[in-house]
Structures are given as C-alpha cells and as structure tokens.
Amino acid sequence: MFWNPDAECKPREDLKKMQYRSLKSLVMSLYEFNEFYHDKMKTAGVRPDDIKCLEDACKLPFMTKTDLRDNYPTKMFTLPRKDVVRYHVSSGTTGKPTLVGYNRNDLDYWTESLARAMTSVGITSDDTVQVSYGYGLFTGGLGLHYGAERIGASVLPSSTGNTERQIELMMDLDVTVIACTPSYLIHMGDVAARMGVDFRRDTRLRKALLGAEPWTEGMRAQIENGLGIKAYDIYGTSELAGPMFTECEERKGLHIWGDMAYIEVVDPETHEVLGPGQKGEMVITMLTKETFPLVRYMIKDITTIFEEECDCGRTSPRIQRISGRTDDMLIIRGINVFPSQVEHVLMRCPSVSGHYQIIVDRVNSLDVMTVQAEINPEAFSDRVEDVVAIKKRIESDMKKYLNVAVTVELKEYGSLPRFEGKGRRVTDRRKY
C-alpha cells in the first residue's frame, strides 16, 4: 500500500533527474538570495554553473551545526518571519540552541513524508495512534501527530510522562499504534507488568514507530517478543524538519524519499564521498525545504546507503539503521545532549570547578544521566543542607538548559580526572 505511489515508486532514472532539477534550482536560488550560502559557495569557489549533474553535489560546501548556531536565530532563513508558521527548537552544542522554521509548504512536506512512512508500515485510517513523543519545542510529538492525522488515523496526543495513565488510555481507546522512544516503550512494558496489564491480552497494540535514540536489533527482538507487536525504526532530526523516514514492512533500511532529500555518505576523516554499501557519515541535502534550506548538512550520524530498489516497490535510496555518531552527542531519553552544554552550565556555577564527568546509565529501561562535579573549597560549608542546595541548583540549571533531568554528584576537589586537550569525560554504560 502506498500513500503517494507516483512519488514513492518513480522509476529510478526519473527520480534522479528530478533530484538534479531540484538541486540545481535550490543552489541557484540560494546563490542568488541567501547571503549565508552565497558566501559559503564563494569561499569554496563553486558557482551554480558548476553543478551539471546530480553527483556534482559533491562540489558544494558542507553545512554544520556550528553554521546553525552562528546564524541563530533566523539569519539562515530564506523567507521573512511573517511567512513562518511554526518554529521548533533543539539543543545546540553550546550557547545557542538550534532553531528551525517552517512555512506552510515545509509543514506540508514534513506531514506528507510521515503519511508515506506510516502507510508503508501498514498504518491506515482504521488505526488509533498514541503519540508518546514530547509535544512542544521538540519535533517528535507534533510531527507524528500531523502525519497520523493526514492519513486519517485517530490520534491520541498523550506526549511523555504519566505512564500508568498512558497504559489505561491505550486500553480504553483500543490504541493500535504507538510512537515513542524504544526505551520508553520497554519502560511502559515494565510498568504495565506491575499494573497486571498484559499487552497481548489487554491491549490491541500491534505496531510501534520507535526512534529519537539509538537502538538495535536486540532491542527490537526484546520489544517484539515481549509485547507481541511489530516495531519499526523511524529517523529524522529537527534540522531536516523532524522525524521523517521509516522502514517499510520489509524492514530492510529506512526509505529516504528521493523527491525530498538527496543523501550522500562521506568518509568522516577525509570527507570524500563514499559509494553505496560503504559505511560513513551521512550528508543530507533537503530538496524541497523553503524556509530553512539545508545543503550538504553534516548530520553526524553514521550509516550506509543502499541504492537497490526495495522489495516493497519503493525506489528511493535507503539507509541502514544509524550505527553511531561522529561527534560526542548523547541522546538521553530522546533528547540530544552535548557534553559542551553540561560544561557551559558548570562554568556559570562558581561553586564547582571546571572538571566534570558524565555518566549515562539505563535504570528500569530509562536513561539516567549523572554529572559529577568538584565542589570548590570556598563553596563548601559545614552545613550539609548548604551543600545539598548547591547540588539542587545545578540540577535545576541543567534541567532548564538541557531539557532533561540530570543527577548531580558533588565530589572532592581534585578527585576527578584531569585531561590535557580533549578529555574522556563521558562514560556511557547503556547496553543497546
């Protein structure tokens, strides 16, 4: 079953021609009208005329998260703010967050992408979809919400938290599909078991769209066997729009709609373009984005591209499940966290030294992040509650800045490891 068979099953050659035309006009208009990208191309010594075929994309300069931060909030937008109908915000590496804007067409493409994706895993207007991603500045909740509404499914916008109530609603409303992070679904299963609820017996759940954090085939097997459902990988980031791409029912990679995105995989060191089947860092060009164009964006996710047509009949290239990152970004309960952000918060707190360690663990299927920081001798007080107040204040600052709950452990001055240059400050004990 297809949502948009014309677009999804377009013959490969036609799709490539279409991608080339989109790329060419994108580059021409950016060179003409977008100061940021014009300068970037000038510096790289590339002109729109140099793009003569799709593969010439490799001549174009890369965009990075640093570019997004440096041009915060809207300097990279190609449209005036009055045309923007939605903003979303995600974490930046430090200082400024990443802001993305959407006009009506951008929202429409994003929604279309998810309508195709949901249809490709067999979700229809007969389904009731529980969206247990966060709603708000995070793209997960609203993205899935609009996608599910587009295909006519009933949407339960339950967002995150209050797991018992989520399980009750799932039973009461005969929810058939859930969209959330894989670790949250495992947590839900644990909570359900404590409530005496058996997913197979007491719910009508049959499918899950799981993403926003790394997971593995092992976790898939655990979820599917434990809950008696089919679990599908979903991929996207706020820079692209939000969650956009999923596996189809064949489950042989994620379909990256060719009319919306052109993907390359490059060597993380040399940035040389790698061929299909070779593992590297994904670089993505969004072909239809209007408000906030993305050309050769280094998304820092490691994957492999498959060019062959899928058995499902869809012709767009697919990527393998994301196998890692080329930077130090952590994903905590679906939220992106950079160690540099943790450092930023600590640096503004005079009660602790600049030395720190981040420990990430999984407790009862949920990510738990602990930050160890050294108390400054001047800040120490004999009163235990004063020291606890320092810990609480840093925890609250972290929560405000990172959007995720952090446990702070205060340590003796000098007891954390010192590094010269790039330190190993993160211990990730999670097992995927």
Partner 1 sequence: MAKGNLIKQLSIFVNNEPGSLASIALVLKDCNINLKAFNIAESSGFGVLRAIADDPEEACRKLKAKNIVVKQTDVIAVSVEDQPGGLFKIAHIMGDAKLNIEYAYAYTGRKGPSIFLRVDDPEAAAEAIKKAGMKCLSQSDI
Binding site for partner 1 (CB under 8 A): 375, 377, 380-384, 387-388, 391, 409-415
Least spacing, CB of residue 384 vs partner 1, in Å: 5
User: Minimal distance in Å, beta carbon 289 to partner 1?
Assistant: 46
- For residue 351, the minimal CB distance to partner 1 (Å) is 11
- Least gap, CB of 164 to partner 1 (angstroms): 27
**Closer to partner 1 at the Cβ: 11 or 350?**
350
Task: Tell me 62's DSSP state.
Answer: P
Q: Token match 């452990």: residue?
A: 409
Q: Given the complex with partner 1, which of 5 and 377 has the nearer CB atom? A: 377
Give backbone dihedrals phi and psi of 329, rounded to 5 degrees, phi first. -65, 135
Residue 74 or 407: the one with the smaller Cβ distance to partner 1 is 407
Distances (CA, A) of 282 to 22, 187, 360: 20, 31, 25
Q: Answer for the pair 410, 391: CB distance below 8 angstroms, yes or no.
A: yes
Q: Is 344 helix (H, G, I), strand (E, B) or coil?
A: helix
**Contact by Cβ (8 Å): 429, 357:** no
Cβ at position 394, least distance to partner 1 in Å: 12
d(CA 80, CA 380): 51
How far are the Cα atoms of 45, 105, 138, 307 from residue 237, in angstroms, in the given order?
29, 18, 10, 22
Q: Among 37, 100, 74, which residue's Cα sits nearest to residue 296?
A: 37
| 224/409 with CB nearer partner 1 | 409
Query: Which C-beta is closer to partner 1: that of 383 or that of 422?
Result: 383
Distance CA 375, CA 183 (A): 33
* Adjacency order of strands within the sheet including 352-363: 406-411, 366-375, 352-363, 426-428
Give least dist CB 239 to partner 1, A.
37
Which residue type sits at 222? Q
| Beta carbon nearer to partner 1, 39 or 412 | 412
DSSP conformation class of 275: P
Min. distance of Cβ 420 from partner 1 in angstroms? 19
Q: Among residues 205 and 410, whose Cβ is nearest to partner 1?
A: 410
d(CA 274, CA 265): 6
User: Under DSSP, is residue 421 helix (H, G, I), strand (E, B) or coil?
Assistant: coil
In angstroms, give the least distance from the CB of 97 to partner 1.
Answer: 29
Nearer to partner 1, 328 or 395 (CB): 395
**Contact predicate 245/254, CB 8 Å:** yes
- State how far the Cα of 129 lies from the Cα of 127, in Å rounded to an integer: 6
Nearer to partner 1, 83 or 395 (CB): 395
Smaller CB separation from partner 1, 85 or 388 = 388
Residue in 138, 143, 205 with CA at minimum distance from that of residue 169: 205
CB of 375 to partner 1, least distance (A): 6
Tell me how far, at minimum, the Cβ of 410 lies from partner 1, in Å.
Answer: 5
Parallel, antiparallel or unpaired: strands 330-332 and 366-375: unpaired
Q: For residue 292, give both structure tokens.
A: 């906030």
Closest Cα to residue 138, out of 81, 182, 86, 185? Answer: 86
